[in-house]
Amino acid sequence: MPDISSEKSYADGKILQHATDGVGVITFNNPDKRNAMSLEMWEGFGEALTALRDDDAVRVVILRGAGGKAFVSGADISQFEKNRHNAAASEEYARRSVAQRALLADYPKPTIACIQGFCLGGGMQVAMLADIRLASRDSQFGIPAAKLGIAYGFDGLRHLVSLVGPSWARLLMYTGMRIDSAEALRIGLVERVFPEGELWGETMAIAATISQNAPLAIKAAKITIAQVLKDESARDMDAIKAIGTACMDSADFREGRQAFMEKRKPQFQGK
């Protein structure tokens, strides 16, 4: 568990953040509402993401839910009457939360969603924006928008389609059904599933591996994969070339070669 003394909190303690050994962790901490996301939590989430982005010691960021029952169970529907009661109000809500979603979508460091329990609606949006999704066997997934009369936006559905394909996206969206972790794994919504008691340790082990690898090489993969997913006309091939050149000219590339020849573990600096 985290060293509480180094923990920072946002949104009146409903978003927690700490970092240890190159691994940053952001916790959605509203267990009484199964970590349902309020506007204040979205904004606190953005602050926590920015702090870890700007911390040079942090190489990878894990997102998790407190309480063991949910990652994020969706949006805080008790706020809808005030914030999302019609199209104009919903647009304002989206405008206030879009900056945080964009921050996660374009995050320069690797991100991992560590999912235990419910991952629904807005929780699925957060999880799908992460680079990697790891889940416990007891987790459940779904987007109940059709049960609430909500139209899902382009970005949310683009990520869903890119993970599970158009037919499963339709089935999930038309029915609002929930699926279990085995089905989520089978359709490509999550990458790995672990027993509940092993999820956090396995997530930390993967994060530690990432944090010890060469940051520039990981950044190159992240940038290039993001360009692969774009339409050909929108791809930034110069960005791919630039990060490739930076990698090959880096001190880390020299260190990687030397460590291999000397049969030792490399010590990467991200330079």
Question: What's the pLDDT tens digit per position in 19-55?
Answer: 999 999 999 999 999 999 998 999 999 999 999 999 9
Maximum alpha-carbon separation in the chain: 64
CA distances from residue 12 to 15, 30, 45, 54, 173 in whole angstroms, order as listed? 8, 10, 12, 22, 33
Name the residue ranges covered by the structural domains of the chain. 4-211, 214-261
Residue 77: predicted pLDDT? 67
To which H or E segment does residue 209 belong? helix 199-212
DSSP β-bridge partners for residue 134: 114, 192
Counting residues of the chain whose pLDDT is more than 90, the rounded percentage is: 81
Q: What's the CATH number for 4-211? A: 3.90.226.10
Which of 4-8, 113-117, 228-232 ranks highest by mean pLDDT? Answer: 113-117
Each residue's pLDDT tens digit, 164-202? 999 999 999 999 999 999 999 999 999 999 999 999 999
List the one residue out of 124, 162, 171, 164 whose CA is nearest residue 143. Answer: 124
Identity of residue 190: V
Higher pLDDT, 5 or 67: 67
**Considering only 6-10, 66-70, 123-127, 177-181, which range has the smallest mean pLDDT?**
6-10
